[in-house]
Every structure is written in C-alpha cells, then in structure tokens.
Amino acid sequence: MIPRRKFRLKLRSCTLILGQRTLVMGVLNVTPDSFSDGGNFFSQEKAVQHALQMERDGADLIDVGAESTRPGSLGINAEEEWSRLAPVLSALRTRLKIPISIDTRKSEIAAKAIETGAEIINDVSGLKHDPRIAEISARARAPLILMHMRGEPQTMQQKPFARNALKDVIQGLRASLSIARKAGIANSQIVLDPGIGFGKSYAQNYQLLAQLSQLAKLGFPLLVGTSRKGFINKTLTQDGNLAPSPHPPGIAAELKISGTAATVTASILHGAHIVRVHDVAQMVSVARIADCILNPNLAPKT
C-alpha cells in the first residue's frame, strides 16, 4: 500500500483531481461483440440510457468505445466505428453531465469524437496503431490515456508472453510517452494504463497488480481496467464450471463481480487513480472503502 501522488487533469469542462479519491470510469461498449457485454448496448437508446444510469450510479466519467479489442477480435474500419459512435456521442453530449472518454485506436475517430463532445482520448494501443492520435490530443489539449498492449488484439493471447511483464510494460509505455511528447502533449495531460489482460498471461496480470507501485514511479497517474476480464473468470472456474467453493452453482455473474471487486481494491491500494469498470454501482462502493483504507481521514467521523 502506497500513498498516491495527486494530479490535476485539465478538460474543457472541468479539472479532474486525481489521487484525492479514486475516480470510477464506467464502460460503455457500443459493439455487438465485446467480451463481457457485447450487444447489450448496441442500440443508440440502450447505450444512452446505460450511460445515464452509470452516471446516476456514481461514475465520474464514461468511456465510450465502438470497436471490440477482446482477444481474437479482428477490428473494424473507421466508417463502421463512427457509424456506431456518432449517434450515441451526439445524444450524450447534451444529456450527460460527467466527462466522456473516447476509446479508439484511430486518429480520425478521435478527432471526430472530440468535436462531438468527448474530452479524453483512450488509446489501448498506446499510439502504436496510429501515432497521429497524439497530434489530435495535442491540438485539442485533450488528456490522453496510453495503454500497454503486447501485440494486436487478434493474436495478443497467442504470441509468447514477455519473460518479465513489468519490464515489458515499462518499456512499452516509455515508447508511447516518447511519441506523445514529440507531438507536444504535456506530461500533465497523460495517464498510463498497464493493459491488464492485453498480451499478458493470467499470472502476469496478478503480478502487474501487485507491482503497480513500480509503474507509479514513472510519475504519471494510473488507470487500471480489470473488470470482468478472463483471468478473473479463469481463477474462479475450472473447465467452465465453478471452482470448488462454498458457493452454489449458478452464480457466475456474482463471482465475476466479487472477483473484479478484489482486483479493484488491489489496484487502488497499489496506486491506481482511476478504475475502469462495467458494474459501476458496486465498484463505487468498493472504491469508497478502499480509499478509506488508503487514507483513513476519508472515513466518516464518529
């Protein structure tokens, strides 16, 4: 457990204070094929209503994406990605009171999304897929989230994993930071994400969570996304069945939430400033308790 350094992230609409308490980023997948909720919010109205519900549940910002980057996914072209995003972003622009982050690997999508109300760019490729995203971020003065991904979504869980995951993540993020800085992005506008589940073994995901404090030494705020990911499910199941436990069968969804809660708590206690989650209401509660462990001064007064 380490004290978190405090940062200020400047957006068009506000300034986010990072480190005083954990910020919760709600995930909105406008896709038919995401790994955890593909198709659930593919229609415009369902997507908008879900975003508004996450806001009511306590989300501090919403991350909207229209291209699945789950293991094995092939990706889509920019035209298809924007056709999914445009109506949702347009609707949320006037109805959502919290900031929107755009989850994309394409500079033209990032540019259009910023023009349509998004205030943060979240690039899961860390500028490796399309380095021009850095130029969009710099020009719009929009904060940029740089995530580490080993390989490409289609093959990232098939290629050999790094021998030392932490070293691989640090080297990859430093390369992404170099691209961002050359484009003129201020250090104060950058957030780093170790990319849990993106080209890492199950054990390496846990190792990275335990070693987050080492990433904090890079001097940037940290975002961590573990929500409903495969390594949690695999830990709690055997051959597709619930692992031996006192729990009765038929509660896989609940176990995914509790498993996510454990990883969210670990992330916060090891230095995460933002957690990216699907189950906002539950993880807002988890974050509140974890924040009090990290800083007892946040606890209610008796």
Tell me, letter by letter, the H, E, C secondary structure of the chain.
CCCCCCEEEECCCCEEEECCCCEEEEEEECCCCCCCCCCCCCCHHHHHHHHHHHHHCCCCEEEEECCCCCCCCCCCCHHHHHHHHHHHHHHHHHHCCCCEEEECCCHHHHHHHHHCCCCEEEECCCCCCCCCHHHHHHHHCCCEEEECCCCCCCCCCCCCCCCCHHHHHHHHHHHHHHHHHHCCCCHHHEEEECCCCCCCCHHHHHHHHHCHHHHHCCCCCEEECCCCCHHHHHHHEECCEECCCCCCCCCHHHHHHHHHHHHHHHHHHCCCCEEEECCHHHHHHHHHHHHHHHCHHHCCCC
Cα angle 180, 209, 221 (rounded to 5 degrees) comes to 35
Catalytic residue among 228, 276, 288, 301: 276
Q: Let me know if 276 is a catalytic residue.
A: yes
Strand partners, 62: 26, 100
Catalytic residue among 70, 128, 229, 256: 229
Q: Let me know if 84 is a catalytic residue.
A: no
Q: What are the residue numbers of the active site?
A: 229, 276
